[in-house]
């Protein structure tokens, strides 16, 4: 069913005064006619709208001594396909790739475009949040918020329940410094906005393991599949980029479902010139799939830099890397291996014969040597170049002592970067069960963090999950920020980090020589409508749902476009199945008011809800830090 907002009913009553100019005989809007006349500032239409008290209240702003009609915001209301019926989702008739403003079937050159260019997608990412009814276009609790509402949505939020965890346990805290590790519980988009001011330009590496949009994470229907996921992804990446330092990098791990769309999007946000590489991580050895399927054994990691200041660190050398280095002639510089002395390119100036001390003449290789005659003579004296025992070959040494590390390659095997099975084993060893389906192994994060950071650098992961990124960062003496909105942050993520502080020996602990230590600060975004939203989703029957609604009427913020009297007295609504009624109540909530804004912290009705310690913590968090 459709609940028509009060303001739309009022607009229709005004438009009806113009006969059939803006409404059909059945009362349906002629949207194009309305929008065209608004764009042309039609005097008669604008005058009637301007004089209406409800429209004046919501769409007229006083600036200096003049009253300004917020025309763009008003027009935006008419661009929704069906008000409420598809949850404010705009322009849904055709979604996808475009070329020069036209759809792909009308042009050859392709760029990525969104019908949601000026909107923000919020995702619940829980089983309860998914839309169970496949007949409805929009998924449950994954909805777009229109541009006029975004400014307040993304204001910094109040943080509560601040705690510090260290080797002595858990303590309430009223302060935070730039040296502290941080975990925030709350919606990651809103949390990113909240940390933007204190953290902007300070993050050295961002690692993201977002929902892959496989049909199990969001259960979007085909119509919204790519556009919804990409909008969700875009909003967060745009904010995240602002947090990166000039020499920082972004690492995003995905499977085949969205990788190629994400690549185009990231090119748009970071610039193609800042694409570093894609890395194939072979995450399992076991064949999967049946019949005519190809068994997938890998994920792809996309790597982007903020600017050209980003430098790739060499990886530590392994025993395997060093196994060919020996010292058969007791060279004082230590173990060495022979290198190829033949030039791969045609170099006439490096084509000269070499005469050995025994008088043997060694002819130059086909293309020439890899060194000049002067270099040959110099290195022969130092011992870097020698002759074979039979004086028929030239040997040039590469010393192990000169190898500072190993070059990063684009294919990572399970032996070097771990596997999904390994990651499950790490979690099971700590909690006795596999609480996550596809966690990432500590070895994978160790490798990424080695390549992109040094000790003391700040690492961010706002799809925190089981806290692998934070655990590895702590063991490698990096600072970290983790963001997670799910309740398992307090049953898995935080307990895991407490185990790390206490010297947990799984994962990379032995390789990193980790024996415990460190600390982190935990805080939560202060819930407003988010609390009601949780209660709605948790309701098991109509009585519980009605009880939540009664509490909502006393304290929740509703979307201003909703007529609650019409909702309560609608017989059709009362006859709907339980899940449909739950869906409607979720839609009534103003998603712009999920959490309390920090700029309202001194308002009496907000200040009374916050402890003195949490109040002081907010002043420390958003103030100047040492």
Where does the pLDDT of residue 483 fall: very low under 50, low under 70, confident under 90, or very high at 90 and above?
very high
pTM of the model: 0.75
| Residue 579 φ then ψ, to 5° | -65, -35
pLDDT, tens digit, 9 for 90 and up, residues 199-234: 999 999 999 998 765 554 443 333 335 566 777 788
Output the pLDDT for position 210: 87
pLDDT of residue 149: 54
Angle at 237 between CA 236 and CA 242, to 5 degrees: 105
The pLDDT > 70 percentage for the chain reads 84
pLDDT-above-90 percentage for the chain: 55
Examine the pLDDT at 320 and tell me if it is beyond 50: yes
Residue 7 backbone phi and psi in degrees, to 5: -65, -35
pLDDT in tens, 46-65: 899 989 988 888 888 887 77
- Taking residue 67's Cβ as centre, other Cβ atoms within 10 Å add up to 11
CB 460 within 8 A of CB 240: yes
For the segment 418-438, the average pLDDT, to the nearest whole number, is 88
Q: Are 334 and 399 within 8 A, CB to CB? A: yes
**pLDDT greater at residue 18 or residue 152:** 18
Residue-range domains of the chain with CATH: 1-79 (no CATH), 181-315+414-505 (3.40.50.150), 319-402 (no CATH), 529-594 (no CATH)
Q: Of residues 39 and 86, which shows the higher confidence score?
A: 39
Residue 179's closest CA among 457, 411, 530, 384? 457
Check residue 82 and give its pLDDT: 40
Assess whether pLDDT exceeds 70 at residue 379: yes
User: How far is the first Cα of the chain from the last one, in angstroms, to the nearest whole number?
Assistant: 55
For residue 184, what pLDDT band results from cuts at 50, 70 and 90? very high
Mean pLDDT, residues 484-497 taken together: 92
Q: Which residues contact 121 (CB under 8 A, 6 or more apart)?
A: 142, 143, 144, 145, 228, 231, 232, 235
Whether 103 shows a pLDDT value over 90: the answer reads: no
What pLDDT does residue 28 have? 74
Query: Cα–Cα–Cα angle for 434, 283, 124, nearest 5°?
Result: 55
Residue 15 near residue 34 (C-beta atoms within 8 A): yes
Residue for token pair 């791990």: 253
pLDDT of residue 135: 32
The predicted model gives 430-434 an average pLDDT of 86
Once rounded to an integer, what is the mean pLDDT over residues 14-19? 90
Distance, CA of 205 to CA of 480 (rounded, Å): 10
The answer on pLDDT for 480 being more than 60 is yes
Greater confidence (111 vs 173) lies with 173
pLDDT confidence of residue 565: 87
- The least confident of 102-106, 491-495, 577-581, 583-587 is 102-106
What average pLDDT does the structure give for the chain? Answer: 84
pLDDT value for 25: 79
pLDDT of 130 strictly over 60: no
């Amino acid at each position: 069913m459709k609940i028509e907002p009060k303001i739309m009913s009022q607009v229709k009553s005004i438009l009806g005064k113009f006969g059939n100019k803006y409404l059909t005989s059945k009362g349906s809007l002629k949207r194009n006619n309305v929008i065209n006349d608004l764009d042309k500032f039609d005097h008669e239409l604008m005058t009637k709208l301007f004089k209406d008290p409800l429209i004046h209240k919501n769409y007229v702003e006083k600036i200096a001594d003049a009253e300004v009609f917020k025309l763009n915001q008003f027009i935006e209301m008419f661009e929704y396909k069906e008000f409420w019926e598809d949850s404010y989702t705009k322009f849904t008739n055709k979604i996808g790739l475009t070329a020069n403003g036209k759809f792909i079937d009308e042009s050859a050159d392709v760029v990525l475009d969104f019908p949601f260019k000026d909107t923000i997608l919020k995702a619940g990412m829980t089983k309860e949040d998914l839309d169970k009814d496949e007949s409805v276009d929009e998924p449950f609790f994954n909805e777009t918020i229109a541009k006029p509402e975004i400014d307040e949505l993304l204001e910094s939020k109040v943080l509560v329940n601040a705690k510090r965890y260290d080797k002595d346990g858990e303590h309430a805290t009223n302060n935070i410094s730039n040296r502290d590790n941080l975990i925030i519980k709350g919606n990651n988009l809103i949390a990113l906005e909240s940390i933007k001011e204190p953290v902007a330009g300070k993050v050295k590496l961002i690692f993201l393991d977002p929902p892959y949009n496989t049909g199990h994470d969001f259960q979007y229907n085909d119509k919204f599949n790519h556009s919804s996921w990409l909008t969700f992804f875009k909003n967060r990446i745009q904010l995240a980029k602002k947090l990166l330092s000039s020499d920082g990098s972004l690492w995003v791990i995905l499977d085949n479902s969205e990788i190629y769309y994400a690549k185009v999007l990231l090119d748009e946000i970071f610039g193609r010139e800042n694409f570093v590489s894609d890395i194939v991580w072979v995450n399992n050895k076991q064949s999967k799939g049946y019949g005519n399927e190809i068994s997938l054994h890998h994920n792809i990691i996309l790597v982007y830099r903020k600017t050209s200041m980003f430098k790739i660190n060499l990886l530590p050398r392994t025993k395997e890397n060093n196994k060919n280095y020996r010292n058969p002639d007791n060279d004082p510089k230590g173990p060495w291996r022979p290198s190829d002395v033949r030039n791969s390119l045609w170099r006439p100036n490096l084509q000269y014969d070499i005469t050995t001390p025994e008088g043997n003449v060694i002819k130059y290789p086909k293309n020439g040597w890899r060194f000049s005659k002067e270099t040959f003579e110099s290195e022969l004296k130092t011992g870097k170049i020698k002759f074979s025992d039979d004086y028929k070959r030239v040997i040039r040494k590469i010393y192990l002592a000169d190898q500072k590390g190993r070059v990063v390659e684009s294919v990572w095997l399970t032996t070097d970067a771990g596997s999904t099975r390994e990651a499950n084993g790490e979690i099971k060893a700590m909690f006795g069960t596999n609480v996550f389906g596809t966690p990432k192994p500590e070895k994978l994060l160790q490798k990424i963090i080695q390549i992109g950071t040094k000790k003391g650098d700040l690492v961010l992961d706002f799809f925190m999950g089981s806290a692998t990124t934070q655990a590895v960062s702590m063991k490698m003496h990096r600072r970290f920020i983790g963001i997670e909105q799910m309740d398992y942050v307090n049953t898995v993520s935080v307990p895991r980090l407490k185990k790390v502080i206490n010297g947990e020996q799984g994962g990379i602990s032995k390789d990193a020589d980790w024996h415990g230590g460190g600390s982190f600060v935990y805080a939560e975004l202060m819930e407003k409508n988010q609390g009601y939203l949780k209660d709605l989703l948790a309701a098991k029957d109509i009585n519980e749902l009605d009880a939540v609604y009664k509490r909502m009427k006393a304290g929740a913020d509703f979307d201003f476009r909703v007529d609650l009297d019409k909702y309560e007295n609608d017989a059709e609504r009362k006859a709907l199945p339980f899940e449909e009624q739950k869906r409607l109540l979720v839609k009534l909530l103003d998603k712009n008011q999920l959490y309390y804004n920090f700029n309202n912290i001194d308002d009496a009705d907000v200040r009374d809800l916050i402890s003195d310690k949490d109040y002081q913590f907010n002043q420390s968090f958003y103030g100047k830090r040492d």
